[in-house]
Amino acid sequence: MTMISAFIIIFFSNLPTSMAWANSARFATRLHVRAERLTIKTALSVSSSLLDQMLSPNPSCDPTQMSPTSLAYIGDSVFELFVRSRYVWPARRTTDLQNLVVGRVRAETQSKIFRRLLSSEIFELTKEERNIISRGRNAGSSSGGRKRGPKRLYGSNDGKDSTYGGPEVYQDSTALEALIGFTYLTDKNRCVEIINFLSEELDRIDNEEGVVR
């Protein structure tokens, strides 16, 4: 045994009992706190995973085989939840909140931000995503004399008056929702990237209209 080792043993053996107990208690407390934090983090992770499963279709679902209208059906819900969460705080009167959300999820606004997405030189869409967009647009097109989408989009007799938007606006809206729905089901990280781009475009609109967030 070296001299230093002997000194250490003698030093600690002569510490007051109360000090030893105090150190032990502090150490145990630290361990307990760390264990609690780890438990909470694990629980949150598990809860998040379960919520993700509950908000997803049957595991046997193949998004590549889903119709564009079904993809848009999911995308519409995802986008609306995003918009509602975005504007629910700071607190607003219910009517003001509802009007704001409706204004952001309506076809006209979706078409506006969708066209910015398509023309963006920064955000590049994949070949598969462009295919989904094409399918979504076709699903939103009018056929057999039947006009798809809200009646407000068709203000003139021929339904092509740009003042009201016309069928192209609804096609854009359906295409965007189909894209969101597809990426939500197949690649949530990619869905986040798309939603983030749309969020930045909504920021611009909010600034133009003086909306407080």
DSSP the chain: --HHHHHHHHHHHTS-HHHHHHHHHHHHHHHHHHHHHHHHHHHHHHHHHHHHHHTS--TT--GGGS-HHHHHHHHHHHHHHHHHHHHS-S---HHHHHHHHHHHHSHHHHHHHHHHHHH-SSSPPPHHHHHHHHHHHHHTS-BTTBPPS-GGG--STTS--TTT--HHHHHHHHHHHHHHHHHHHH-HHHHHHHHHHHHHHHHHHHHHHT---
Of the residues 52, 62, 76, 161, which is catalytic? Answer: 76
pLDDT-derived band at 138, boundaries 50, 70, 90: confident
When the pLDDT of each residue in the chain is averaged and rounded to a whole number, the result is 80
Q: Is the pLDDT of residue 181 over 90?
A: yes
- Does the annotation mark 158 as catalytic? no
Q: Tens digit of pLDDT for each residue in 8-26?
A: 455 455 555 555 545 566 6
Lowest mean pLDDT among 31-45, 121-135, 169-183: 31-45
Q: Tens digit of pLDDT for each residue in 93-137?
A: 999 999 999 999 999 999 999 999 999 988 999 999 999 999 999
Amino acid 157: pLDDT = 46
Q: Is the pLDDT of residue 87 over 50?
A: yes
Whole-prediction pTM:
0.72
